[in-house]
Amino acid sequence: MKHCDFCRIDVEGTLDRCPLCGTPLEGAPTSDPFPNVAPVRQAFRAEGLLGTITLLLCLLVVPPLAAGLVGPLGALAIVGTLLANYLFLRNILAHASDVLRMVERYYFVLLAMALLAYMATQAPMVSCLVVPLLCIVALLVNGVLLLVFRGSFVEGYAKYLIMDIVLGGVPLLMVALGFASWPWLAYVSAALALLLLVALLTGTRGRFAAESRKLFDRG
């Protein structure tokens, strides 16, 4: 029988990794306790959405590459980062219970990393492309989630939505400070932030305002 050294449990069947902690299992496999049937399809395929977004972002590298804003090596680095990011997030999807909250937090981490990278390198690729793209993706994802889940999404995620809207203006701030010479993606990010704010204030029948008030009362 297989055994997880970390959780100190025995696991029947042919699993490679511990179902609790993900550690590779030791020992010999036994016959599978579950019948061999296809897994049930989930209604909300977060993984497919993630793959689609990754592919679209990879394609977004083409125009700046054609315009000479990014060299071939830079483009390769961006695509490589996007793919690594996809694998990282797919791993989160497979293991975390509250995926959405992890992803929302992960966006803040990525944005902080990008801003640090800009401070370190002053590379226009980061200020013109990476930072605004991160904001655009976050705003788009939240926009889609808002469309799908409406009021119930606002209820649990008001503080993330507020952060996303505020951070959506960061690329524009970088343009204003003279850090980004190619401002178009910053405009898109700011416009999306404004659009999300309007959608929240008008489309959720006061729920967003009530949730926000609760947040600030507590703080």
Considering the rule CB under 5 A, would residue 200 count as an interface residue with Zn ion?
no
Instruction: Provide, rounded to whole angstroms, the least separation between the CB of residue 88 and Zn ion.
Output: 21
Which alpha helices (DSSP H) does 96-130 contain, by range?
99-121, 124-125
- Look up residue 139 and give its two tokens: 């705003």
Q: State the Cα–Cα distance between residues 147 and 150, nearest whole angstrom.
A: 6
Residues 23-42 that bind Zn ion (CB under 5 A): 23
Return the range that interacts with Zn ion (CB under 5 A); candidates 21-29, 57-65, 109-117, 191-199: 21-29
| Closest approach of Zn ion to the CB of residue 40, in Å | 24
- Contact between 20 and Zn ion per CB under 5 A: yes
Tell me how many residues contact Zn ion (CB under 5 A).
Answer: 7
Closer residue to Zn ion (CB): 4 or 103? 4
- Least distance in angstroms from the C-beta of 15 to Zn ion: 11
CA distance 130 to 171: 10
Q: What angle do CA 186, 191, 195 make, to 5 degrees?
A: 150
Chain centroid offset of residue 131 CA: 13
Residue 97 is which amino acid? Answer: S
> What is the smallest separation between the CB atom of 5 and Zn ion, expressed in angstroms?
8
Task: Return residues touching Zn ion (CB under 5 A).
Answer: 4, 6-7, 18, 20-21, 23
